[in-house]
Structure 1
Amino acid sequence: MAVRITHITFDSANAYEQSRFWAAVTGFAEAPDDPNRPGDTENLIVSPDGATRLLFIDVPEGKSVKNRVHLDVAPTDATRDEEVERILALGATLFADHRLPDGRGWVVLQDPEGNEFCVERGQAERDAAELAAHPS
């Protein structure tokens, strides 16, 4: 037997603003038949293919400790470093920088409510590093 993950849910102080931030980061959009509005206590965004759904729910308590689960994201059309700069400009903050001189590593950011997430190198960067390390 197996299960299908239907949503990844974030407890939020402001579910609407969190959904807008994460939509800008991921390129996800609200469901056309269920628009997100300021003041809504639940806000959903969905990946373009409909396979991944992020749900943001207002809760009364704030975040108090490190996340037990977090997202790792990788750019599809930019470098890791360009993506980090883009996401910082959207309102994220730098939490920890684990980039290595050889280009490997990742960056830990926090969303506007302090949830940690990692930005890794995209596939094109990983492929280029592999090719450089093992030329034909």
Structure 2
Amino acid sequence: MAMGWKLVVDTADAAAQAEFWAAALEYEVEDPSTLIDQLLAAGHLTDEAVLERDGRRTFRGFAGIRHPDDPFDPTSGVGHGRRILFQDVPEHKTVKNRLHIDIHAQRGGLDALVERLEALGATRVTEIDKGPAGHWWVMLDPERNEFCAS
């Protein structure tokens, strides 16, 4: 049986990164507000561990996104499929990522994809054109993590 997994990305602002990547990938930001309300009511969580974002409660320093077609737990909001978790860490990014995400455009849609990603807060860095081997842009997300749009 295949193992379950999620990609975890270190961040300075997990909630903001989750919002960017959910919009970029057309995913959904996970909503843990039901679980948080239960944990607060039971005294298992303090108000300091929670922040409010877009009218709902989320865990301070953690935010997940999931594919909208994949199953998820309705109480925790955690996806049971294609999922990325963003977690705040104290240190800042200092070197090139060792792992990155590629976002693929529909045929002939690279310019529109890059423009949409820029509108969300991404930055173009380098255009790569390898002819028949591919054409893509190296880009940066709002925290300057590299990714490719092709």
Which bracket does the TM-score occupy, shorter chain normalised? 0.7 to 0.9
| Unaligned 5+ runs, structure 2 | 34-50, 54-58, 71-80
Q: In 1, Cα distance between the equivalents of 2:116 and 2:133?
A: 18
Q: In 2, Cα distance between the equivalents of 1:82 and 1:103?
A: 21
Give the RMSD, CA atoms, in angstroms: 2.4
TM-score (norm 1): 0.76
What is residue 116 of structure 1 aligned with on the other side?
A: 146
CA positional deviation for 1:99: 3.1
Q: In 1, Cα distance between the equivalents of 2:126 and 2:65?
A: 27
Aligned structure 1 segments of 4 or more residues deviating by more than 2 angstroms: 1-4, 35-39, 75-78, 99-104
Aligned AA for 1:60? P
SS of residue matched to 1:61 = coil
Distance verdict in 2 for CA 1:28–1:118, change over 3 Å: same
Identical-residue share of aligned pairs (%):
38
- Contact conserved, 1:16 with 1:37, CA < 8 A, in 2? no
TM-score (norm 2): 0.69
> Quick check: which one's strand share is greater?
2
Please point out which of 14, 38, 61 is paired with 1:41. 61
1:49-92 residue CA offsets vs partner (Å, 9 max, x unmatched): 22210100000000000000001111248701110111011110
Q: In 2, Cα distance between the equivalents of 1:27 and 1:17?
A: 15
| Unaligned 5+ runs, structure 1 | 121-136
Aligned pair count reads 118
Query: Could you say which structure has the greater relative contact order, defined with CA pairs below 8 angstroms and 6 or more residues apart?
Result: 2
CA positional deviation for 1:105: 1.1
